[in-house]
């Protein structure tokens, strides 16, 4: 029987030293494809090392505590950023190790031959970080095929990570992991295999390395989530970090998944402080930009497609009646900020389904369902499909505003009587406008004193019945609206830490080269952030801690 080219290459990938020899002879130190290239990193590392020597000599007398810090990274975009962060921490005198996996994609299985070529290529590029950073390739061809043995509790955690991987990648919430005939089932099997392997390699490495601190991007999905779970199981202090829509800002969490957006400590630190007029004006400027589909300062996203038209225009466009109006604002299905955020529903999908069924029985009010504008940029199923499957014939008192429609969400907020949300930030902005909002998912602004937060289906439906009978009974007090504004300021401007380099870098390195970051000017801006990246928790308390 003749082997296919793929089968032949997979077999050759199991032979000792062959792929590595092939790379050196055929590729001669170059990447196997443009997609795999880290040429820009290869060129930048020598420049960073020159700056690092200057920084280290200037800080030679520093009394700052030194730690054994390990970083984990994978995938091209994160690897470049992790290399920069590793050498920056080494400039502070820490003993830094960067461990990596050579994957280019998380959706498809890579041939062992290509994987080993990419592994040796990355090892060659990252070797330039010496002597500042110790580089550890976690990938081991010898451990690729046997199923690793891991504690059952850890394997259960890896199943949950793999479930989120599949949901996030395909932007779905419900699927059968055992159905290998489906795309979701096959992807789950791949993610489970990869996450278990990453965990097995990390298990051996971390037990041997014994770092005082581990830094992991995101910490909730992909191999990042797998390595975080290993560190958690081994009791290794871990900082997870991620980047949002603001340039030169970073989210940090200690011993917790940063994507949970735990704002407990930062809100506790600021809630009792005065909410100054200057802060209000800054927040108002941001809110104005968000509502008018404009960019603002360091925010990189437009939140609406169209500017506001006024509520009377929108009322006519949607042919709304003069009766109580409920606005249901959805998240994107499978968005990372909705996964594992259920409180009393199984998922956001179930919450939408049961809410639609409830309002179908109450024609005395009208329901506007606003599909998240972000659906325009996704390839997964739409909330429209949930609506069609739940209610094949749309009731006359329902209005569905699609993701691609020009209706501005803030006009809908102004004309609504009650808001319904899962985790979207729109719920926070509803409360800021004085609109009572019922929160069904585990979001950062839940239970902050200005939302209605049911903990069961019974409480949820009781609130809806109360709102239908008398929407004014849920009206927010002026103090609650003020609290929502104060909290929003803290969330947008205090929760993210100042940080010089966003994940995509872009012009950040030109504006903030290493030497400038560690100058007196740079340390005034970013010194606290780097301390928190190193696991220090003294000073201002806006680092989430689980």
Phi (first) and psi of residue 419, to 5 degrees: -110, 145
First to last CA, the chain: 56
pLDDT computed for residue 50 by the predictor = 94
The b-or-e profile of 377-405 (16+ CB within 10 A means b, else e) is eeebbbbeebbeebbeeeeebbbbbbbee
pTM, two decimals, is 0.90
Q: Give one DSSP letter per residue of 30-89, joined into a string.
A: S-SSTTT--HHHHHHHHHHHHHHHHHHHHTTT------EEEEEEESHHHHHHHHHHHHHH
Q: Could you give the 3-state DSSP secondary structure of residue 530? A: helix
By DSSP bridging, strand 418-421 and strand 437-439 are: parallel
Instruction: Count the Cβ atoms, other than its own, within 10 Å of residue 37.
Output: 15
- Any residues with CB less than 8 A from the CB of 101 and at least 6 apart, and which? 74, 138, 139, 198, 201, 223
pLDDT computed for residue 304 by the predictor = 54
pLDDT computed for residue 506 by the predictor = 74
Q: Is the separation of the CB atoms in 154 and 230 below 8 Å? A: yes
Q: Where are the extended beta strands (E) located within 75-195?
A: 95-101, 133-137
Q: In whole angstroms, what is the distance from residue 364 CA to residue 469 CA?
A: 10
Phi (first) and psi of residue 134, to 5 degrees: -85, 130
CA 360 and chain centroid, separation? 35
Q: Measure the CA dihedral 278/279/284/287, to 10°.
A: 150
Q: Give one DSSP letter per residue of 281-316, joined into a string.
A: HHHHHHHHHHHTT---TTB-----SS----HHHHHH
Q: Could you give the 3-state DSSP secondary structure of residue 90? A: helix
- Any residues with CB less than 8 A from the CB of 217 and at least 6 apart, and which? 72, 73, 78, 81, 82, 224, 240, 241, 242
What are the pLDDT tens digits along the chain (546 aa)? 565 666 666 666 676 777 887 888 888 888 988 899 999 999 999 999 999 999 988 876 666 778 999 999 999 999 999 999 999 999 888 999 999 999 999 999 888 888 999 999 999 999 999 999 999 999 976 654 445 578 999 999 999 999 999 999 999 999 999 999 999 999 999 999 999 999 999 999 999 999 999 999 999 999 999 999 999 999 999 999 999 888 889 999 999 999 999 999 999 999 999 999 999 999 998 888 877 655 444 444 555 566 677 888 888 988 999 999 999 999 988 888 888 899 999 999 999 999 999 999 999 999 999 998 887 777 778 899 999 999 999 999 999 998 888 888 889 999 999 999 999 999 999 999 999 999 999 999 999 999 999 999 999 999 999 999 999 999 999 999 999 999 999 999 999 999 999 988 778 999 999 999 999 999 999 999 999 999 887 544 344 443
Phi (first) and psi of residue 445, to 5 degrees: -95, 0
pLDDT computed for residue 59 by the predictor = 73
List of domains in the chain: 273-494 (3.40.50.2000)
Q: In whole angstroms, what is the distance from residue 99 CA to residue 205 CA?
A: 9
């Amino acid at each position: 029987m003749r082997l296919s080219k793929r089968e032949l290459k997979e077999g050759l990938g199991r032979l000792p030293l062959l792929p590595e020899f092939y790379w050196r002879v055929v590729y001669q130190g170059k990447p196997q494809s443009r997609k795999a290239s880290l040429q820009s990193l290869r060129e930048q590392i020598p420049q960073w090392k020159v700056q690092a020597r200057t920084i280290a000599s200037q800080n030679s007398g520093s009394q700052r505590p030194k730690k054994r810090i390990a970083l984990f990274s994978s995938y091209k975009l994160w690897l470049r950023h992790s290399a920069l962060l590793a050498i920056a921490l080494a400039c502070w005198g820490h003993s830094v190790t960067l461990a990596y996996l050579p994957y280019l994609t998380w959706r498809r299985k890579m041939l062992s031959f290509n994987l080993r070529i990419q592994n040796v290529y990355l090892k060659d590029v990252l070797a330039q970080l010496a002597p500042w950073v110790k580089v550890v390739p976690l990938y081991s061809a010898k451990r690729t095929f046997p199923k690793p043995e891991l504690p059952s509790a850890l394997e259960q955690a890896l199943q949950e990570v793999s479930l989120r991987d599949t949901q996030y990648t395909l932007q779905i919430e419900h699927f059968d992991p055992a159905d290998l005939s489906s795309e979701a089932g096959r992807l789950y099997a791949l993610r489970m295999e990869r996450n278990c392997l990453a965990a097995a390699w990390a298990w051996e490495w971390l037990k041997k390395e014994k770092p005082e601190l581990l830094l992991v991007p995101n910490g909730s999905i992909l191999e990042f989530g797998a390595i975080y779970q290993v560190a958690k199981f081994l009791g290794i202090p871990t900082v997870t970090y991620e980047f949002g829509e603001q340039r030169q800002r970073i989210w940090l969490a200690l011993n917790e998944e940063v994507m949970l957006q735990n704002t407990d400590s930062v809100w506790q630190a600021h809630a009792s402080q005065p909410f100054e007029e200057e802060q209000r004006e800054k927040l108002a400027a941001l809110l104005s930009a968000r509502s008018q589909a404009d960019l603002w300062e360091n925010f990189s996203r437009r939140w609406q497609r169209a500017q506001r038209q006024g509520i009377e225009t929108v009322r006519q466009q949607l042919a709304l009646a003069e009766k109580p109006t409920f606005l249901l604002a959805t998240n994107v299905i499978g968005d990372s900020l909705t996964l594992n955020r259920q409180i009393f529903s199984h998922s956001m999908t179930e919450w939408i389904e049961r809410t639609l069924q409830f309002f179908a029985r109450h024609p005395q009010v009208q329901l506007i369902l606003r599909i998240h504008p972000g659906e325009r940029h996704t390839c997964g199923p739409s909330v429209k499909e949930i609506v069609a499957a739940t209610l094949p014939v749309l009731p006359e008192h329902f209005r569905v505003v699609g993701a691609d429609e020009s209706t501005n969400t803030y006009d809908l907020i102004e004309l609504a009587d009650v808001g319904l949300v899962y985790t979207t930030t729109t719920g926070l902005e509803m409360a800021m406008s004085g609109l009572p909002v019922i929160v069904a998912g585990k979001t950062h602004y839940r239970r902050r004193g200005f939302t209605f937060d049911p903990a069961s289906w019974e409480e949820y439906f009781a609130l809806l019945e109360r709102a239908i009978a008398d929407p004014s009974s849920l009206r927010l007090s002026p103090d609650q609206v003020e609290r929502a504004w104060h909290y929003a300021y803290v969330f947008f401007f205090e929760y993210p830490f100042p940080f010089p380099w966003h994940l995509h870098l872009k012009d950040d390195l030109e504006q903030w080269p290493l030497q400038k970051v560690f100058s007196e000017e740079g340390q005034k801006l970013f010194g606290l952030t780097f301390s928190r990246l190193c696991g220090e928790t003294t000073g201002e308390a806006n680092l989430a801690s689980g």
